């Protein structure tokens, strides 16, 4: 099981289907960071991701009789395409079990590469369990997406290529982590030859299974994971990948959705290609690392590991990239409800560019304005707050306030004298046809909905904010409802953005 990975990687069979991808200069980003940032362009593989390397290596190493019986995998994304393509190349059948929630574009991509798709269950875990049943029933071989030495070795060929392609000293290599197969392979190779090179893993803040596992010294299973970077939305990392990460990686950096969206935009500006969220994590982390460490003139490498992006999600990415780049700040500014106040506010703004301005009369003494402003960086946002305060306007910075960014900016000004006993909650659920209706019908008919905002962003998860009128004596029923609903939720009743504009 734990034989020498250097030998495994050197003898891996990947180039029947994979290409040696370029290591490209991200020139704009390098200039901005005062370091040389190189992108390992795994998004340029035929399946737009690195996953075919490990999948093919595993299948190519199977004994001929097992290979002839066929292979099976569970995946909603890039691994599925890698397995389908590899099986076609090796002349065997591949069954891919995918959750019923899988977008049609991904199902079509697997079928186009010769895979037989079986839809089962709502989550990856359901699909995985069913695939293991079919494996036994039909005598197929299961191709694990990450927790298998041959899969890890296949991904490790990326590390081999990086060292061959980059002749100058490398300070750090940044790699996204889902189950851990990619980083384990790269780290096992690079650290054996150049232990001084830092291997830095990257996870989304809401899907940090490896980070939590390394901290606690054992594999942690997350109760739920964020869905935005679906390529790394893994609840539990692999046993072998965990062992290798404990041994080889230097640290893990966590990045949020806005940072990821900004990184997608950065790569687009440098290469005119569009990475999927998981594919851009490494770039986001490289930026965070440079800012934190203050390094200059070093060579950094980020693995751009995938580009299977739904076109519909670009709207959300574009909207959030400005915030992720700290190019836009959002404020709640309180001004006196009197003539000339607005003019004074505009004078206070000076020549700055407004990105958003929402206001509705609600009180005879004070007016609350919801305003978006273009800024140069985070420090510039803080200066803006000071400017407003100096003009005598009470100001709240909402730039990092999730409720404000997702919902309130589209519905400011809805305070109502009729909304008594109102509770405000934010929900997130897997986006699929009928999901919204299911949500609404699951609510007790005794409770009145006093506020509702939902916007389809074309992403994998739907987001709703709901105001419900729940009498105090029915709070137990409300709490029971929240627990049985099975969706992620946030209590926003104390959120200052809510109390100012809607509460």
Got the DSSP string for 246-257? Answer: HHH--EEEEE-H
Quick check: 288 and 430 in contact, CB under 8 A? no
**pLDDT band of 311, cuts 50, 70, 90:** confident
Quick check: 500 and 396 in contact, CB under 8 A? yes
Q: How many other C-beta atoms can be found within 10 angstroms of the C-beta atom of residue 452?
A: 13
Average pLDDT of the segment spanning 328-354: 77
Confidence at residue 293, expressed as pLDDT on a 0 to 100 scale: 96
**pLDDT band of 96, cuts 50, 70, 90:** very high
Confidence at residue 266, expressed as pLDDT on a 0 to 100 scale: 95
Q: Mean pLDDT highest for which of 171-180, 314-323, 348-357?
A: 171-180
State how far Cα 58 lies from the chain centre.
Answer: 27
Confidence at residue 437, expressed as pLDDT on a 0 to 100 scale: 59
Which one-letter DSSP state was computed for residue 306? Answer: B
State how far Cα 76 lies from the chain centre.
Answer: 15
How far is residue 369 from each of residues 325, 358, 413, 414, 415, measured CA to CA in Å?
A: 23, 6, 9, 13, 13
pTM > 0.75: yes or no: yes
pLDDT in tens, 428-459: 877 665 566 566 667 666 787 777 666 555 56
How many Å from the N-terminal Cα to the C-terminal Cα in the chain?
59
By percentage, how much of the chain surpasses pLDDT 70?
90
Q: How many other C-beta atoms can be found within 10 angstroms of the C-beta atom of residue 97?
A: 27
Residue ranges of domains in the chain, CATH in brackets = 5-50+149-322 (3.40.50.1100), 52-142 (3.40.50.1100), 326-400 (3.40.1020.10), 414-501 (3.30.70.260)
Average pLDDT of the segment spanning 266-272: 96
Quick check: 355 and 373 in contact, CB under 8 A? yes
Q: Which two tokens stand for residue 26?
A: 């991200």
**pLDDT band of 1, cuts 50, 70, 90:** very low
Whole-number Å distance between alpha carbons of 373 and 327: 8
Q: Mean pLDDT highest for which of 97-106, 263-272, 376-385?
A: 263-272
463 vs 385 pLDDT, higher one:
385
pLDDT in tens, 149-191: 999 999 999 999 999 999 999 999 999 999 999 999 999 999 9
Strand order in the sheet with 94-98: 116-119, 94-98, 71-74, 141-142
pLDDT higher than 70, residue 413: no
Q: Which two tokens stand for residue 484?
A: 């049985």
Range of weakest confidence among 20-34, 293-307, 413-427: 413-427
> Any residues with CB less than 8 A from the CB of 118 and at least 6 apart, and which?
95, 96, 97, 98, 130, 134
pLDDT higher than 90, residue 263: yes
């Amino acid at each position: 099981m734990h034989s020498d990975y250097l030998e495994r990687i050197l003898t891996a069979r990947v180039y029947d289907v994979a290409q040696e991808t370029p290591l490209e200069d991200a020139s704009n980003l390098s200039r901005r960071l005062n370091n040389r940032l190189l992108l390992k362009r795994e998004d340029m593989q035929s399946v737009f991701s690195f996953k075919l390397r490990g999948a093919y290596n595993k299948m190519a190493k199977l004994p001929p009789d097992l290979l002839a019986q066929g292979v099976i995998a569970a995946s909603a994304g890039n691994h599925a395409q890698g397995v389908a393509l590899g099986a076609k190349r090796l002349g065997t059948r591949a069954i891919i079990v995918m959750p019923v929630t899988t977008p049609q574009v991904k199902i079509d991509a697997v079928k186009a590469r010769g895979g037989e798709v079986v839809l089962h269950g709502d989550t990856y875990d359901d699909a995985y369990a069913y695939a293991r049943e079919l494996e036994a029933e039909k005598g197929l071989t299961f191709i694990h997406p990450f927790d298998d030495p041959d899969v890890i070795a296949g991904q490790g060929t990326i590390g081999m290529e990086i060292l061959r392609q980059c002749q100058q000293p490398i300070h750090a290599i940044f790699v996204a982590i889902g189950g851990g197969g990619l980083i384990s392979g790269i780290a096992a190779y690079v650290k054996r030859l150049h232990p001084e090179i830092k291997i830095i893993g990257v996870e989304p803040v809401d899907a940090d299974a490896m980070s939590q596992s390394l901290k606690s010294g054992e594999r942690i299973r997350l109760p739920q994971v964020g869905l935005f970077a679906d390529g790394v939305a893994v609840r539990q990392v692999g046993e072998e990948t965990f062992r290798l990460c404990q041994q080889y990686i230097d640290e893990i950096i966590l990045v949020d959705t806005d940072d990821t969206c900004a990184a997608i935009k950065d790569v687009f500006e440098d290469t005119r290609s569009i990475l999927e969220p998981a594919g851009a994590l490494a770039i986001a982390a490289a930026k965070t690392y440079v800012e934190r460490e203050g390094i200059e003139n070093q060579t950094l490498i980020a693995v751009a590991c995938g580009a299977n992006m739904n076109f519909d999600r670009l709207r959300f990415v574009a909207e959030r990239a400005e915030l992720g780049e700290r190019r836009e700040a959002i404020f709640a500014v309180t001004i006196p409800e009197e003539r000339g106040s607005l003019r004074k506010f505009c004078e206070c703004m000076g020549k700055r560019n407004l990105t958003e301005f929402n206001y509705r009369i609600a009180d005879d003494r004070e007016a609350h304005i919801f305003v978006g402003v273009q800024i140069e960086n985070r420090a510039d946002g803080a200066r803006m707050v000071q400017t407003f305060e100096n003009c005598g306007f009470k100001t709240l910075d909402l730039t990092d306030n999730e409720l404000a960014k997702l919902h309130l900016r589209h519905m400011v000004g809805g305070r109502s004298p009729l909304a008594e006993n109102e509770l405000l909650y934010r929900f997130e659920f897997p986006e699929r046809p009928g999901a919204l209706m299911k949500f609404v019908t699951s609510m007790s008919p005794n409770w009145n909905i006093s506020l509702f905002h939902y916007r389809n962003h074309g992403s994998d998860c739907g987001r709703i904010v709901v105001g419900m009128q729940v009498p105090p004596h029915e709070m137990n029923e409300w709490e029971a409802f929240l627990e049985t609903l099975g969706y992620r939720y946030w209590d926003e009743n104390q959120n200052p953005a809510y109390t100012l504009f809607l509460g």
